[in-house]
Amino acid sequence: MSETLVAGIDSSTQSTKVLLVRASDGVVVDQASAPHPNGTSVHPDAWWEALQQAGSGLLERASAIGVGGQQHGMVALDASGEVVRDALLWNDLRSAPQISTVVEHLGGPQACADAIGSVPAASFTVTKLRWMAEHEPENAARTAAVLLPHDWLTWKLGGGTGNTGMTTDHGDASGTGYYSPARRDWIPELAAWALGRETAPVLPRLVAPGAVAGHTPNGVPLSAGTGDNMAAALGLAIASGEVVVSIGTSGTAFCIADTECADPTGSVSGFADATGHYLPLVCTINASRILSVIGGLLGVDHDEFARLAFAGDVGAGGLTLLPYLDGERTPNRPSATGVFAGLTSGATRENLARAAVESLLCSLADAVDALDVKPTRVLMIGGGSRNPAVQQLAPGVFGQSVQVLEPGEYVALGAARQAAWALSGAAEPPIWAAAPFQEFTGVPTPVVRAQYDALRDATVGW
């Protein structure tokens, strides 16, 4: 008897990845990927073409399919189901001026956070809809339905036509800015207002966690799908009290919570997760680029940079970097730049590298603090987590041991786990083996956080 296989899809900013996974234990048996075009606005057909390429020979073998996708992206469709304009992605910042418009419309930061779980950033779909209403009113008028990237791909996999049969999950919906995590339902009147009209567009039907959302034309079940952060949490099977710190181009820290979040400062996005719980998440703009920029200034490669940093002094000999190289989101300092303090004639290359690593870790520790949870376990993922200096110095900055997970396609794995869950009809997701990790321990180094905190607080008005 052949083994039951499920497929998990990760449609990210850069590419589509497809994993074919054993439903019984989560073992990956095959995988493929295909690139996406560059840019912050992309026609969704490019995602579909990449999925056809990456999924060829894999999707046909799957007994169920789940899609994880980049959050927030705006896919606007007309009454016939045709794309109105290129999708605006999460990293398209043209709608930044509309943030204050949305917040003011909802009654200020606290009322906004209470209503939609977050004070939105420019990434949120609601700001993009408002931008389109103000700058492309003809496109806003043509828009009959609004989907997120994963919604659109799930709909396409189901052979969708017109603007019917569209589905989504609570996790990805919670990043739109017109969904209430507290009520776990859409706020259609807010979507209508964002588009500058009285009638709301068609919004995808919300599918319960673990439920079947639809079927392909060949009868293969489709799970609800979810956003990339929610899919990663599902792929990692994180439990209450565990915090994931991801170090990529941007940095994130997130955890599972039993109650919704409503942070008026905008630091914490109060998302729902893919299991019926919540996923408070904090994002920093600057992460692994901090290391590459300082390494480039020092003229060293990744390995030599790590060696220099590890050879530096605790606290980098009094040298402190505030790493807001391209502005910052947490804390909200969009116009900030990087600041070095404590630079003297005695500065060394080792301490310059050390200051860069310590600043990255302190920025991420600030993100963890913003979650307002005392972590029982800190898990690190992402390309930056593979830097040896980051691994060795993280326990000191976080004040506890840190587990660095083996590199893996955790978003696609989470989508596959959701597909296996939907296929099983069970009340809970299947239990798969935990991701392999390497644990790092160290002596707490509070002086590092103290130096960093002092510089961060002293530069508020800069």
Radius of gyration (C-alpha) of the chain in whole angstroms: 22
CA 274 to chain centre: 13
pLDDT on residue 335:
86
Per DSSP bridges, beta strands 65-69 and 226-227 are parallel
**pLDDT value, residue 391:** 98
pLDDT of amino acid 134: 98
Residue 233 contacts residue 413 (beta carbons within 8 Å): no
Give the C-alpha separation, 175 to 180, whole Å.
10
Q: Beta partners for 83?
A: 77
**Please, which contacts does 336-344 make with residues 24 or more away whose CB atoms are closer than 8 Å?**
336/459, 336/462, 339/455, 339/459, 339/462, 341/455, 342/316, 342/317, 342/318, 342/451, 343/319, 344/318
Token duo for residue 245: 């710190």
Known catalytic residues are: 228
Report the pLDDT value the prediction gives residue 462, as an integer from 0 to 100: 86
Neighbours of 257 (CB within 10 A): 20
Q: Do residues 374 and 396 lie in contact, with contact meaning Cβ atoms separated by under 8 Å?
A: no
Whole-prediction pTM: 0.93
Question: Would you give per-residue pLDDT tens digits along the chain (462 residues)?
Answer: 479 999 999 999 999 999 999 999 999 999 999 999 999 999 999 999 999 999 999 999 999 999 999 999 999 999 999 999 999 999 898 999 999 999 999 999 999 999 999 999 999 999 999 999 999 999 999 999 999 999 999 999 999 888 789 999 999 999 999 999 999 999 999 999 999 999 999 999 999 999 999 999 999 999 999 999 999 999 999 999 999 999 998 899 999 999 999 999 999 999 999 999 999 999 998 999 999 999 999 999 999 999 999 999 999 999 999 999 988 988 988 889 999 999 999 999 999 999 999 999 999 999 999 999 999 999 999 999 999 999 999 999 999 999 999 999 999 999 999 999 999 999 999 999 999 999 999 999 999 999 999 999 999 988
Which three-class secondary structure state does DSSP give residue 40? coil
CA distances from 312 to 58, 231, 401, 414 (A): 48, 38, 21, 39
In this prediction, residue 162 carries a pLDDT of: 81
